[in-house]
Structure 1
Amino acid sequence: MPQHTTQDLLPIVQFAVADALGVEEAEVVAEASLVDDLGAESIDMLDILFRIQRESGIKVSVSDMEALMRGPDGVDLFDDDEVVTEAGLAQLERALPQFDRTQLSGPLTAEQVVGLFTVQNLVDMVHDRARAAAEEN
């Protein structure tokens, strides 16, 4: 498997997202939220990840997204009411560099967390998965 950089993965991810969502590639900028800005739904995520794998040879899954957000320690992000806990907020700040909890106007819910994930987060996740796969081989 060839070594991939985030620079060569960005166009692959942009194409996959644009193609799956039926949007112009020019709209699929690094800082765009997959859900809030580009309109992705959960089924679209599977399609996007499949397209990335087909174009790059890098297998990624929805569980990789969850693992990224939970971090290496597997932080439980939510309380029983599906609201992000204090530990969860701290983990999201580590996992998603663009996330700034000071911008929240109220509690962050599980449903809202998916809306935080950007094109750049997806590129970074694919890059990390490619690096891990290379290390396994």
Structure 2
Amino acid sequence: MASFLDSVRLQPAHGYVAGVAIASVFVNTWAAFGVGAARKKYNVPYPQMYAETSHAHSTQFNCVQRAHQNILENYPPFLMLLAVGSTYRPALAAAFGALRLFGFISYYKGYSSGDPKKRLNPGTAVGYMGLFGLLGLGFEVVARLITS
């Protein structure tokens, strides 16, 4: 008798999921390059993670650095939820994943403006819709596996 897990197969729509995962590498790299450019612009040398508060441009640099750090903090859960959530509904998972990436970009652009309040904006809210969608798909996978 075949197990329930034997019925889970990759679908052509999983290609969209892979595309979103690959696009996420570019989003993360773009944000990292932004930090590098800010380091040069504001003269914050390595290995200093953040500029000291006494630095003339500490707020501007630290906002750019913090924006990228936030993406890094959210990146492993994003990839895990994208992968798990795509088990049964890959096209929907890819759509939610794309919304989450849009939110990362919007958050980064707002925060790196130098005004921390701009990190929370309509684009960031769209990103959270993607996150909550991926969480919902993940819960569906858990429920279907446990009850099979």
Q: Which has the larger radius of gyration?
A: 2
TM-score normalised by length of structure 2: 0.26
Going by fraction, where is helix more abundant, 1 or 2?
A: 2
TM-score by length of 1: 0.27
